A and B are shown apart, each in its own frame.
Chain A
Amino acid sequence: MDNKGNREKKFDEIKINANLTVIIRLAILLKLQISRINELWNCMRAGDANALKELYNSFYQYLFSANFAVCTHREMVKDSIHEAFISIWVNRDKLPSVTSVGGYLNTCVRRKVIDALKKESPLQTALLRIDAEHEFPYEEVIIAFQEQEATRQTLKEALSHLTTKQKELIRLRFFENKNYEEISQLLGCEPRTIYNRMYEAVERLRHYFSVRHPS
């Protein structure tokens, strides 16, 4: 009995720690202090529309990329974020005070995305067995994000010339928006090394990317 209780306690601790890392990472990502985010959340609950707008502005890109990885329909993700924030505002009196605002917002948007997916194609949803945790691999996500067929092809071609490690690096830097400092901590090497490897990866891609001027 005692052993089991201990194990559970340990498990809880790990969970709390994991949650904390997520929160801290998010705060760094958003260049906002956790206390500030919580303050915004509480102001919003009290009916401050400006706090809501600030949360919206700070979290938008994060919510977009996190959910695009689950559902690769640009408009659907945008609509889901819109609707999630609207229903948060409508139900602001009933909302709890939460420890991870980012996590909470992401869950709200994720739910809307899944609802939208179910509505759009019930059959496809059933076939894919889409659950909240299912994410597409990074390569598929960035290729799906490109609107022009030509760009998609180039990207596919270019990525196939990178090593798995290089791809992982690009994913961490550009998709998860971590800086070299954070990546170096994560992979256990010097920021300088990360920078050099990244440089190599981009250099390798040089041959496959032509200069495309934005329309």
Chain B
Amino acid sequence: MLVSNEGMKDYLSYGVEDFVTDESYLRYYFRENEADIQFWTEWLGLHPEKLDVVISANNYIDAFSVRVSESEFQKEQQRFAQALNNLSLDDFFFQDNNNTEKPDIYTLDNSHKVRKLKRRIIGVVAFFVVIAGSVLYLALHQNKGGTLSGESANVMQIEKYVPKGERAKITLPDGSEVALNADSKLTYPSKFTGSSREVQLTGEAYFRIQNDPKHPFHVISKNLAITVLGTSFNMQCYPNKSQAKVALITGKVRLDRISDPVNKQVLGEALVLTPSEMGVFNNANFSLKETKYDIEEETGWQQGIVVFKNADFTEIADRFDKLYNIRLINQSPKTEFKFKGVFTNTSPEEIIKSICLSKKLSYATNGNVITIH
């Protein structure tokens, strides 16, 4: 602040040394003072002939100071904000829900009535699950009395299938948490024994794995094996899709291409992901590539966020089928269109309405079938 009032210095005769040693210029360069930033931005705009000298001076400053560049810092800021955002979503999603067996269906709609109805449904479902659980528990115990062939006899595989139009949350025996998306199946043991933890997935799930370096965690799908220590990530491997995707949020994971889920023979090179990277496996050519991803697009489903990025009709219909258990039929002359949009807690009918609006189409609902004209 002093400098601006110090009387105008003869900046025009400034050489490299002068810029490097000028406090006001340094405050501008390190973005420390608003007044200096404003002054120098303006001054440099007015005197492009000094650009060479200024660039040279900047090189000195860069060489002497250990600071990450503006763009590098912005990247880190973004990564941090993304991680925070995800944590708060986790907080919301994994809130005080300790019942392992209880599937929890998350409301897709904001309307109070629907929520109430769904709660009632959950109650009924939970009741049956508890009964099923007790039967299972009894069966297990009887089994224990019958066989004495060691601990492994007590470990049984649990298969959890979430039907279309629903979502569920599971806590694994080691405390790891899994959010299962619609039309997805997770197979896991009732107890983890041995040196590693292994589960099998078809469909889509968000994993938050308990840290345990001594027992690596593996997720096995048709042609992909994931190895993790302690981390959170989203994995999508629907059998009808041409790609399988693993989006990493925190920690580190390794992706291996495997022959099949039983023999697990590793084929080709592994891919190691670091946060904010996504591994994409292509079924057709067996390739495994690393890309960046949009956090909402990959993990938003847990909060009822639906993202369409240049989606064609088949893609939209597929999503409707899984998310809402609704069949879409296209009887309009427009067979090839691309749609882009993000919906948060929007009813399927509202989504269809806006798609039709933007494409100048009309639709008719009949039960769980929507026909587009």
Contact = CB atoms under 8 A, between A and B. Distances in A.
Contacts, number: 94
Nearest to A65: B66
Nearest to B52: A211
B74 to A, nearest CB: 11
Contact of A89 (B52, B55, B67, B87): B87
B69 to A, nearest CB: 9
A8 to B, nearest CB: 38
Looking at chain B's contact residues, the main secondary structure is: helix
Contact of B83 (A86, A175, A195, A198): A86
A206 interface: yes
Nearest to B62: A214
A65 B52 contact: no
Interface string A61-90: 100110011000010001001100110011
A109 interface: no
Contacts of A65: 65-67
Nearest to B65: A174
B21 A199 contact: yes
Contacts of A170: 64
A70 to B, nearest CB: 12
B213 to A, nearest CB: 10
Interface string B58-86: 11110111111000110011011101100
Interface string B33-66: 1000000000000000000100110111101111
A169 to B, nearest CB: 10
Contacts of A49: 84, 88
Contacts of B159: none
A94 interface: no
Given A202-B16, A211-B59, A212-B59, A60 B65 contact: no
Contacts of B63: 142, 146, 151, 155, 209
Interface in A139-173: 141-142, 145-146, 151, 155, 170, 173
Contacts of B52: 211
A86 B90 CA distance: 13
A129 to B, nearest CB: 23
Given A174-B65, A209-B60, A202 B20 contact: yes
Interface of B: 16-18, 20-21, 23, 30, 32-33, 52, 55-56, 58-61, 63-68, 72-73, 76-77, 79-81, 83-84, 87-88, 250
